[in-house]
Amino acid sequence: MSLVFDHVTLGQRVLFGSGRAAENLAAEVDRLGASRVMVIASQSEHSVAREVAAGIDVTVFHDDVAPHVPVTKADKARAAATENAIDLLVCIGGGSTTGLAKAVALTTGLPIVAVPTTYAGSEATNVWGLTEAAHKTTGVDDAVLPATVVYDAQLTLSLPVELSVASGLNAMAHCIDSMWAPRTDPINKALASEGIRALADGLPAIKADPHDVTGREQAQYGAYLSAVAFASAGSGLHHQICHVLGGAYDLPHAQTHATVLPYVLAFNAPAAPDAERRIAAAFGTGTASAGLNDLRVVLDAPRALKDCGLDEAAIPEAVERILPFVPDSNPRPVTSHDLETLLLAAHSGETPAGT
């Protein structure tokens, strides 16, 4: 059978180097010819943002950041950009910070330079998300893809081990979901496989020694690959489930992804033999689920949606919210009963299949 596929590679500049964030950011601001820069960083990242932006002239620092990008927060940031005649957005932080910069870029067309401090991966995708009235809306628009990403593993040293694990497993979810997402192809499957390998090497190193920059570099590298694969392949079943849960019930983003992932993998892998082989090979284990579950044990990963704040009584409603968004391309049909069974297992934290 001949190999036929249609692949789109997004254009983006990536600068990777530990201890070089301030230097690389200043060089990018100069290269882009920006003169009025808005730095978006949460209050908790304020000192890091000041340090990274020390070499550039900042017109305004904006710190009103919240998870899942509420529309009210997006409108406030857009107004700040307009009022200050901003010509470049710089976001320094995790996925929520990058998401807010994307929300501004979506309506203003302003370019973004992203400086990630977690392994969220949003910086390498053209996917945006906004939340209003407990409903999260996502979309795809090349206008929100950051022009440049500045990676510096030293900026992740302050990320606690527990958050590093959750964020890294969120990146792992990008890899695994890319194996059966609507636009999956051999190129993003290859990127996702290498992303799994890098994350499976890097995250245990962070767990063993939180000050190990080498492990954090591998995790950042894997997170970038995971996001590139995800941007090409699109949102699979896992991400549709987590987007609904996060937006509707205000659950923590990374922890929710880390918790749900093994249950989606156990559900889909038996019906996706090629993905099963690729994922297992990347982990170096006999089965995909065994590789992921073994890694989760080593990392002491988040285990149950009840710990993320999901009320078991909300699960039937969640099922009805998720069902319309299940991709037609999923390897196996998904019924409301399937979703309820999956969410109940994830809620209680029972051991996923394939251990």
Instruction: Write down the domain spans for the chain.
Output: 13-156, 161-348
Cβ(61)–Cβ(39) below 8 Å: yes
- Give Cα separations from 123 to 76, 158, 324 (angstroms): 21, 19, 27
Cβ(197)–Cβ(229) below 8 Å: no
Nearest partner of 179 among 190, 170, 168, 166, judged by Cα: 190
One digit per residue, the tens of pLDDT, for the chain of length 355 reads 688 999 988 899 999 999 999 999 999 999 999 999 999 999 999 999 999 999 999 999 999 999 989 999 999 999 999 999 999 999 999 999 999 999 999 999 999 999 999 998 999 999 999 999 878 898 999 999 999 999 999 999 999 999 999 999 999 999 999 999 999 999 999 999 999 999 999 999 999 999 989 999 999 999 999 999 999 999 999 999 999 999 899 999 999 999 999 999 999 999 999 999 999 999 999 999 999 999 999 999 999 999 999 999 999 999 999 999 999 999 999 999 999 999 999 999 998 865 5
Tokens 């690729």, located at residue: 278
Span 112-131, pLDDT tens digits: 999 999 998 999 999 999 99
- Answering whether pTM is above 0.85, one says yes
Q: For a pLDDT cut of 90, what percent of the chain falls above it?
A: 93
What dotted CATH number matches 161-348?
1.20.1090.10
What dotted CATH number matches 13-156?
3.40.50.1970
Whole-angstrom distance, CA of residue 11 vs CA of residue 14: 10
Q: Do domains 13-156 and 161-348 have the same CATH topology?
A: no
